[in-house]
Amino acid sequence: MLAAQTKTCSKCGESKDLDAFSRGKNRKDGRAPQCKACMKATAGAPWERDRERLSAERKRSRQADPEKSRAWSRKTYAKYRNKNHERGRRYYVENLEKERARRRLYYEENREAFAARSRKRRAQVRGGGGTHTAADLFWIEEAQLCSCYYCGVPLPLEPAVHVDHKLPLSRGGSNGRENLALACAPCNLQKSTKTAEEFMEIKQRELSARVAELRRQQNAGKEVRQSK
- Bridge partner residues of 163 (DSSP): 182
**3-class SS of residue 85:** helix
Cα 151 from Cα 148, distance rounded (Å): 6
DSSP 147: B
DSSP 15: E
Tens-digit pLDDT string for the chain (228 aa): 344 588 899 989 999 988 899 888 788 888 889 999 998 888 777 777 777 888 888 889 888 988 888 888 888 888 888 888 788 878 878 888 888 888 889 888 988 787 777 767 776 777 777 888 888 888 999 999 989 999 888 887 655 678 899 999 888 888 889 999 999 888 998 998 999 999 999 989 888 888 888 888 888 777 767 776
Domain range list for the chain: 7-43, 131-210
**Domain 131-210 top-level CATH class:** mainly alpha
Judge contact between 17 and 6, C-beta under 8 A: yes
DSSP 216: H
